[in-house]
Structure 1
Amino acid sequence: MKLIQITAWLLFAAILFITVDPISLRPESGLPVNVERFAAFAVLGFVFAAAYPRRWLLILVLVVGAAFGFELAQMLAPTRHARLMDAVVKAAGGTFGVAASALILRLLR
């Protein structure tokens, strides 16, 4: 259980770094940017909900809060821009990930 918790927090830090680093350092997968945003936060939500299975509501608040907070943090980076729609896509991905993890964990019980 500890390994997945460490993984969740490292993923959190990595997504924060990628969100606020200079745009030239942003990794690209070749997928549309909104797909990348959604997927990154879906994985984040999934891993956090798996790491803390009894705290899914708190994890949901954390992941959605991070989506909006990370987006606002882009205002501090000169080469980045904050957009409400980007935060909404990230929050939707995080919500999907938390829900998917909660559902899978429930089915495995």
Structure 2
Amino acid sequence: MLGKSIILAAWCALGLIVFVTLSPIGLRPETGSVGLERFAAYALLGALFVGAYPQHFAKVMLFIIAVSISLELLQHLTPDRHGHLADALEKISGGLAGCSLIRLTQAFCARSRG
């Protein structure tokens, strides 16, 4: 049951990130530093996807990188948004940090058990 909940949370987080990234700028929530928001959102995304699909760590990391780059490029198709390499790098860094944190946690827990 928990595994299915994490899978659902991961895909919902991705859907929310897609919406926020490609919607009109006025619909984007603001909580403070935009760079920190990007990093944290993708860290959570990476963490959720590694939690949902722990056996596919490398594929999840590549997926997070592809999503980050794709969404930045897709912003060029919207009238009031524009993608930047620096933004993509913040997103990629956050995503890979989230992936790595969960992977290290999984390895530590497995080592503690056995």
| Band of TM-score, shorter chain | over 0.9
Runs of 4+ deviating beyond 2 Å: none
Find the partner of 1:18 among 20, 38, 42.
20
Q: Which amino acid aligns with 2:6?
A: I
Coordinate RMSD, CA, aligned: 0.6
Counterpart-to-counterpart distance in 2, 1:40 and 1:71: 14
Q: 2:10 maps to which residue?
A: 8
- Matched pairs, number: 108
Higher CA-based Rg: 2
Shift of 1:76: 1.2
Counterpart-to-counterpart distance in 2, 1:14 and 1:73: 15
Where does the alignment leave 5 or more consecutive residues of structure 2 unmatched? none
Counterpart-to-counterpart distance in 1, 2:106 and 2:79: 41
Matches of residues 41-60 of structure 1 in structure 2 within 5 Å?
Answer: 41-60=42-61
Matches of residues 1-109 of structure 1 in structure 2 within 5 Å?
Answer: 1-30=3-32, 32-109=33-110
TM-score (normalizing by structure 1): 0.97
Shift of 1:3: 1.1
